Structure 1
């Protein structure tokens, strides 16, 4: 937590906006869970208040309960490709609701928010999955998605290099393997 606060203060000094910081924290909920993110949300608010930034910040949500599924599906298609258009309906009936939640909650509620674009959200998601470990199938998918939307292989290697002191070598090497696998798959499909 102390390192997070120090890095957050530094990022504000280097031009990262309060909205961008809050959006990173909100994005974390979908990938790390509210139980792991809740204290960071409070720390974020504490640092912003300490810096004299009035809260709450301007809302960034654009999806509504009525259109979040449709907007989430479109976000998945924009990021991963047209094969995602019907993904929310896939899988065994008893667990299909999870794929729908992925579309309407993860992508509809989070990815459609203002404050960060898809490239930034995918880069952040790549960081969350790399740091978490044990999510290599999802990490490989998000590595490919990053490359699909313009965060190329070299960029992702730079991201891994920056994260290495925080996540360690094993997780960094796993992330590198996922990037290489995704790049190889993309090259094979060209």
Structure 2
């Protein structure tokens, strides 16, 4: 995100991070009316058009094209309304050209290993073994195509991902995995706890408690390792 978010992360979420969390959470659950309010808040706080756009595109990898497209359309409406009011929003920089010509699967695998902090060795297990093509799609598209775009860095992308998954029910295994990756990228436990208060506000206490419990589980696992 903008320069403010590129600083060393603190205990609490800064204004940019709070806005991005609100935008990701509301997009994930399809609350378009409230999303428009938060999109305005995010722009007013200094997020660029391209930063928000990038998060809304990434959304589809976790909750589908319909949510992503609806949120992008809502963002277009917000920008048009602001333009009519004479508000000039900063577009922000475009993604740098991707110059890595290596095998896309290997690029994605390397990114995944950086996020997890672990080398991926041995035969595939679980869903990746049962349906190997999903592993290919994850590595080549999500962790290569999407995560290689430098408008958002790994920490920012993981924060968006955690926000999305925190808003959704029934995805605790994925939330646990991404909280672990998020901590590896520099997101703090305190920031995830603060994110849970955003979840409680928009989604409810039960979902917020799932986020907190999942964080505790990740912390315990990390201590054992």
TM-score (norm 2): 0.74
Q: Match of 2:187, SS? A: coil
Match of 1:130 in 2: 166
Secondary structure in structure 2 of the residue aligned to 1:82: coil
> What is the CA-CA distance between 1:57 and the residue it aligns to?
7.7
CA distance in 2, matches of 1:147, 1:66: 28
> What does residue 50 of structure 1 align with?
81
Question: 1-side partners of 2:96 and 2:103: how far apart?
Answer: 12
CA offsets, 1:52-71, max 9 Å, x none? 369x9865274589753333
Structure 2 runs not aligned, ≥5 long: 1-31
One of 43, 47, 55 as aligned partner of 1:12: 43
The equivalent of 2:154 in structure 1 is 118
1:1-190 map, 5 Å: 1-52=32-83, 59-60=94-95, 62-63=97-98, 67-84=103-120, 95-189=131-225
Tell whether the 8 Å contact from 2:95 to 2:150 is kept in structure 1 after alignment: yes
Q: Specify whether residues 84 and 51 from structure 1 end up closer, same or farther in structure 2 by C-alpha distance, changes over 3 A only.
A: farther
Name the TM-score, length of structure 1 as normaliser: 0.87
State the shift of 1:82 in Å: 3.1
Deviation at 1:51, TM superposition (A): 2.9
Which segments of 5 or more consecutive residues in structure 1 lack a partner in the other structure?
none
The total of aligned residue pairs comes to 187
1:5·1:43 contact (CA, 8 Å) conserved in 2?
Answer: yes
* Alpha-carbon RMSD: 2.5
Q: Output the CA distance in 2 between the equivalents of 1:20 and 1:9.
A: 13
- CA distance change for structure 1 residues 66 and 176 in 2, over 3 Å: closer, same or farther? same
Q: In 1, distance between residues paired with 2:115 and 2:122?
A: 14
Structure 1: distance between partners of 2:181 and 2:142 = 15
Structure 1 residues 168 and 62, CA gap change in structure 2 (3 angstroms):
farther
Q: What do residues 31-61 of structure 1 show as CA deviations (whole Å, max 9, x unaligned)? A: 011022211111112222333369x986527
* Cα pair distance change 1:105/1:187, threshold 3 Å: same
Deviates more, 1:138-147 or 1:69-78: 69-78
Q: Is the CA contact 1:62–1:114 (under 8 Å) kept in the aligned structure 2?
A: no
